[in-house]
Amino acid sequence: MTQLPGRPGGKPRLLMVDDSRVMRTAATKMLGERFDVVVAENGVQGWQAIRSDQSIQVVFTDLSMPELDGYGLLEKIRTCDDPGIAGLPVIVVTGAENDEAAREKALQLGATDFITKPFNSTDLTARASAHADYQRERRTLEAATTIDRLTGLGNAEFYLGRLKQDLAFAARHAHALSVVRIEVDHFNKLFIRVGKSAADSMLVQVAKLISRLIRKEDTAARTGVAQFSITLPTADAAGAKVFADRLCRQVREVNLQHEGRRLPLSISAGVLSPAPHPGQTARTVMEETALVLQGAVRAGGNQVMTEGGLRNALPGQPQQPARQPFSPPPISVEQALAMLASGRDEEVRRHLPSLRKQLAPLLKILDSEGH
């Protein structure tokens, strides 16, 4: 689930990336009383930690490291699609081996600050505290403008920003992506019948169910009075429909009481898996998904409508050519090995058919040698 800016309670979390075990141990000892310190041995491990832990507020990194050095890590952070990661303060740890040219290069890549080895506990703690405090204030201000107060989910502005990033990432890396847009059925009539308090309770219940069902990488937001939108990175149309069907079923099972009577609660859902095309924007995708959702509403509500289902539900309308199922372009064996090394196993699995074809001649030779 995509987390909104901010981290509840506890110590601020920072990441120390250094290939020296002595330096990692020293930093943990110096900062451990005031910070939750996460350590990594090189840029690859550091990047994995940043991508998987959105509560990290400050990054300290050495420059000279194996596999991925500090320059490479800094570049990955500053060019990341996620603004929360791209805006992280990165403090570069320099030593006698780093000359002025090294500092200038780090600055050009977006280094926030520098600290020189050997450092003492007071200097290190002061530097970490200053940047953690600033990051906390920045996230608090961002949260105030991106959270829907009633449901605790993101608002429409927040969602459009995240959808733009997810669409760009999916297009660049040839990943599938689906969008689900839902609407509480007959909400206006229910609002008039039961009043604002009970109607708000309905929206809160739906938001809670959405939060329970989505994954860490998904994004959910309230994008209308009684509408919610969910982005499901890597999910194709079939997977997104399974998600939407499950959500509809669980909403129907909610036992919400008003004046001793159970309130009928159901939703309609539209599912879209947009293929990248020129002129595509987050807003055009939202508009297309809204059309699919309205198809579900016009069909009577309490159901899930897909883009294909919408075409079939409109007899007499000109038939648009169906979008081809999403199929990622083939990758080389070298690319697959690099992806496995960086922990992207699931992505490699989607390419197994093409990889088997590439490896078939080699496997044939190995098989013959084995006999």
Residue 5 lies in a domain: no
Residue 128 lies in a domain: yes
Residue 199 lies in a domain: yes
User: Could you tell me if 167 and 240 lie in one domain?
Assistant: yes
pLDDT tens, residue by residue, 161-188: 999 999 988 888 888 999 999 999 999 8
pLDDT tens, residue by residue, 283-322: 999 999 999 999 999 988 999 999 877 766 555 444 444 4
- Per this entry, what is the length of the chain? 371
What is the residue whose two structure tokens read 């990051």? 135
Residue 119 lies in a domain: yes
Where does a domain end: 312, 333, 349? 312
CATH number at residue 220: 3.30.70.270
CATH number at residue 72: 3.40.50.2300
Where does a domain end: 146, 169, 191? 146
User: Could you tell me if 223 and 136 lie in one domain?
Assistant: no
Residue 365 lies in a domain: no
Number of domains in the chain: 2
| Prediction pTM value | 0.55
User: Could you tell me if 101 and 160 lie in one domain?
Assistant: no
User: Could you tell me if 193 and 271 lie in one domain?
Assistant: yes
Containing domain of residue 161, as a range?
A: 156-312
Q: Is the peptide bond before 274 cis (omega within 30 degrees of 0)?
A: no
User: Could you tell me if 99 and 186 lie in one domain?
Assistant: no
Where does a domain end: 122, 146, 170? 146
- At 97, the pLDDT band (50, 70, 90 cuts) reads low
User: Could you tell me if 120 and 262 lie in one domain?
Assistant: no
Nearest to 158 by CA among 147, 169, 173, 144: 147
User: Could you tell me if 161 and 308 lie in one domain?
Assistant: yes
What is the residue whose two structure tokens read 């909610």? 254
DSSP H or E run through 174:
none
- At 342, the pLDDT band (50, 70, 90 cuts) reads low
pLDDT tens, residue by residue, 124-146: 888 888 888 877 777 776 666 78
CA 80 – CA 256 distance, rounded (Å): 42
CA 49 – CA 43 distance, rounded (Å): 10
Query: Average pLDDT for residues 9-30, to the nearest whole number?
Result: 89
The 10 Å Cβ neighbour count of residue 321 is 6
- At 201, the pLDDT band (50, 70, 90 cuts) reads very high
CA 28 – CA 36 distance, rounded (Å): 9
Residue 347 lies in a domain: no
Euclidean distance between the first and the last CA atom of the chain, given in angstroms as a whole number: 50
User: Could you tell me if 55 and 112 lie in one domain?
Assistant: yes
